[in-house]
Structure 1
Amino acid sequence: MTAPVPASPDPVPPVPEFIVTLPTRGDGARGDFGPPPPAPPAFVTDLRPGAYGPFDHLAEIGRAAEIAGFDGALAPFDAGGEESVVVTAGLLRASRWLRGAAGLHPGVATPVYAAKVSASLQRFSGGRLDWRLSVDLDPSVARAQGDFVEGPDRYARADEFLTIAKGVWHEDSYTYEGRFFQVLAGGFQAPLSDRPFPRVHLSGTSPEALDLSARHADVHVFDFAAAQPGVSRQGDVLDALIADLRARAAGHGRALAFGLTLPVLAREDEEEARAEAARRTAAGAPPSGLTGSYDQVADAIRGFAARGVTTFVLEAAPYVEETYRLGEHLLPLLATGTAPAAASDTVKEHEHAD
């Protein structure tokens, strides 16, 4: 059994990176994701479909992210949405430098096939592909995908998945025999192996999730719930998780970056942000995450950066408008290097609605 290939000696980027989230189920009424439109009346002779479809909308968001100065875009794994690898491939092909993070589930493809598809994506995107593994799916969702692995075995399988994917990428004659996957004399040769392996983003706070990241992740992305200001006997929850994961990774001779998923609703001033939050709440879609002025949200993000977070996965809808808005008004504030303020003192943090 071959040991996992370690990450680069210093995977932490020198400055924070900002990633937008793509709506793989459409953006409200936009994107045409859902049932097909009704048949046209009999007198309509041009039966060609509309010129604007779901992938046009996703491409618009990717274009907005690139123009607005974001570093990347995440297409999350969603069993009921568009296929994330296909979405990411379109994004990478249509952009010049934006990174694309594709959501993957270790139970829906073999690691060799996932690596092969990714090698081709790396080749035609200039090495801009990342992986975001979804390991701990809801059991009903997992079973609907044909996956009946449960409990800690999900992380054991993800460990094998990543070990094999990296192994076939870096060795032209690779053999592995595990509990979930086996490979005999596999491996890629040039040109497939010429590009770097995708950066691996993982998540979760269980001991199994942290151990998996310690062995394999380049970036561990915490959910916004981990950033809540609650304090335990071990100190702040987020600080404790970062310290724990740093120690686990050091035990494997590795270092990794830390990320945070942040739903954001930012406006010119706090009053305007509150009014928009109230409007969304009345419409049945209460915001969760950070709500406030651009300055307040920027201060909150600086506070998280001071605690070791370097990758921020922002969620903001409607996606095209909010991507441009955040790129124009928020990102420039985060390039000034001003002193951070405590997140809880500068911006309202809404709890996630489960």
Structure 2
Amino acid sequence: MKFHWFLPTNGGDGRQVVSGGHGVEHGVAGRPASVPYLGQIARSAEQLGFEAALTPTGAWCEDAWLTTAMLAPLSERLKFLVAFRPGLTSPTLAAQMAATFQNLTGGRLLLNVVTGGESHEQRAYGDFLDKDERYERCGEFLSIVRRLWTGEEVTYAGRHLRVDQARLQQLPDPIPQIYFGGSSPAAGEVAAEHADVYLTWGEPPAAVAKKIAWIKELGEKRGRELTYGLRVHTISRDTSEEAWAEADRLLAGIDEADIARVQEGLRRSESVGQQNMLDLNNGSKDGLEIHPNLWAGVGLVRGGAGTALVGSHEEVADLVEEYHSVGIDELVLSAYPHLEGAYQFGEGVLPILEERGLWTNPAPVTARASVPFGAQKAAS
């Protein structure tokens, strides 16, 4: 399995669910999304054995391309799962940007293609297509980009996009993997045709298994095999009691008025996946453990991924293994705050998964701390 972390460029980080993000002020204890702080998270994620870090896209966060380009020199091996929106950039330019990033970072780029689930936000960027048209254009975009990455000269005239004799002089090495999510029929078709990794949010394992079966069937019709990943938060502690106490603390910090306001806005979302997240929490602080050790409290005031793995390190590892049994091979994780959360999961859960044969640290053995300093001193 592969595990990825998250860079909170959506306004900042903190000890509450939306500290400094999603239109909420940082507060006294907030951590703005600065290069030094994001660099701390990136270096820690790398040290702990995370494969990559997701950087989001949207009007509410810093630009993912620019942010990750600034952070790449601060780490050595960590890859960046850069979220971007096709249709806002020409496919030739996007292919060139990705190739440049890949080549100048030594192959550390992964791409999270976000078609755009909200028409009102897309219109703010000058995009006036409806949702199904955006997915149709996305398919055209990825067709062009993938052909350019192989060195082909591309002349293409689709319904939405057109290029003439496009070619890249510098090809990406290796070709970046495409991560893609979406729960609508239109999203499924594009994912099956173009994605390397299909991402879904943290619904209960049975629902995730059903979604994987759907995409797998669509992929098989095209002769393609995909990998499947889960985007979810985590609250992992030494004991179950500590973890649930932290979930209760986060819940206590959520104002009922904020729940009503955010839920009203999210209910207008065109995203099928977002509606699934809302159905898990029902806009209420009650009954939020929707599956053993799966908590839906985050989605009360946060769009997108709205659930968290909650429990002792062993319990969280058990739930990860349950997701793996239904077909999940990659997890994109986050926590509040992200720096401390990376250590909680990285030092608490990953070693358990390694013992079970489900994970291997991607860092070279020479880069890992093998002997505690105290033991080293005693031996000398």
State the TM-score, normalized to the length of structure 1. Answer: 0.79
CA distance in 2, matches of 1:173, 1:254: 24
Correspondence 1:68 to 2:20: no
Instruction: Please say if residues 101 and 132 of structure 1, whose CA atoms lie closer than 8 Å, have aligned partners that are also in contact.
Output: yes
CA distance in 2, matches of 1:198, 1:102: 10
Q: Among the aligned pairs, what percent are the same residue?
A: 34
Instruction: Please say if residues 93 and 124 of structure 1, whose CA atoms lie closer than 8 Å, have aligned partners that are also in contact.
Output: no
CA distance in 2, matches of 1:125, 1:289: 32
Instruction: Please say if residues 8 and 33 of structure 2, whose CA atoms lie closer than 8 Å, have aligned partners that are also in contact.
Output: no
Instruction: Please say if residues 170 and 187 of structure 1, whose CA atoms lie closer than 8 Å, have aligned partners that are also in contact.
Output: no
Q: Deviations over 1:9-30 (max 9, x none)?
A: xxxxxxx100111111211399
Q: What letter matches 1:301 in structure 2?
A: V
Structure 1 segments (4+ residues) deviating >6 Å = 29-35
* Alignment match, 1:301: 320
Q: For 1:228, which of 192, 200, 204 is the aligned residue?
A: 204
* Alignment match, 1:217: 195
5 Å-filtered alignment, 1:79-94, equals 79-94=59-74
5 Å-filtered alignment, 1:241-320, equals 241-284=211-254, 286-287=297-298, 288-320=307-339
CA distance in 2, matches of 1:338, 1:94: 31
* Alignment match, 1:4: none
The DSSP-based 3-state class of the residue aligned with 2:145 is helix
Specify which structure has the higher proportion of helix.
Answer: 2
5 Å-filtered alignment, 1:53-64, equals 54-64=34-44
CA distance in 2, matches of 1:337, 1:28: 33
The DSSP-based 3-state class of the residue aligned with 1:309 is coil
State the TM-score, normalized to the length of structure 2. Answer: 0.74
Q: What letter matches 2:343 in structure 1?
A: Y
Instruction: Please say if residues 59 and 90 of structure 1, whose CA atoms lie closer than 8 Å, have aligned partners that are also in contact.
Output: no
* Alignment match, 1:233: none
5 Å-filtered alignment, 1:197-212, equals 197-212=175-190
* Alignment match, 1:160: 140
Q: What letter matches 1:314 in structure 2?
A: L
- Answer with 299-308 or 135-144: which moved more: 135-144
Correspondence 1:323 to 2:342: yes
Instruction: Please say if residues 135 and 155 of structure 1, whose CA atoms lie closer than 8 Å, have aligned partners that are also in contact.
Output: yes
Instruction: Please say if residues 91 and 144 of structure 2, whose CA atoms lie closer than 8 Å, have aligned partners that are also in contact.
Output: yes
CA distance in 2, matches of 1:129, 1:20: 14
Q: What letter matches 2:64 in structure 1?
A: S
Q: What letter matches 1:78 in structure 2?
A: G
Q: For 1:196, which of 174, 179, 183 is the aligned residue?
A: 174
Q: Deviations over 1:32-65 (max 9, x none)?
A: 9999x9xxxxxxxxxxxxxx97111111110110
How big is the alpha-carbon RMSD for the aligned residues of Structure 1 and Structure 2? 2.4
Correspondence 1:141 to 2:121: yes
* Alignment match, 2:284: none
CA distance in 2, matches of 1:91, 1:242: 33
* Alignment match, 1:169: 149
Instruction: Please say if residues 269 and 292 of structure 1, whose CA atoms lie closer than 8 Å, have aligned partners that are also in contact.
Output: yes
Per-residue deviation at 1:104? 0.5
Instruction: Please say if residues 102 and 172 of structure 2, whose CA atoms lie closer than 8 Å, have aligned partners that are also in contact.
Output: no
Q: What letter matches 1:207 in structure 2?
A: P
The DSSP-based 3-state class of the residue aligned with 2:329 is strand
Q: Which structure 2 segments of 5+ residues have no match?
A: 27-31, 256-296, 299-306, 359-380
* Alignment match, 2:367: none
The DSSP-based 3-state class of the residue aligned with 1:152 is helix
